[in-house]
Amino acid sequence: MLIFEVLDEGRTGMISARNFRQFLHLAHRLKHAKGSPASFLNETSLSQQTEVMLDQAQSEIRKVIEQFNLDGDRMLSPIEFYEIIAAFYK
Along the chain (90 residues), what's the average pLDDT of each consecutive run of 10 residues? 86 92 86 80 79 90 92 93 88
34: left (phi over 0), alpha (psi -120 to 50) or beta: left
SS3 89: coil
Rounded distance between C-alpha atoms, residue 12 and residue 18, angstroms = 13
Considering the chain, what percentage of its residues have pLDDT values greater than 90?
38
Fold of 2-88: Recoverin; domain 1 (1.10.238)
Give the model's pLDDT for residue 1.
66
Give the model's pLDDT for residue 12.
94
pLDDT in tens, 15-38: 999 898 888 888 888 888 887 877
Spatial neighbors of 65 by CB under 8 A, at least 6 apart, are: 16, 17, 74, 75, 76
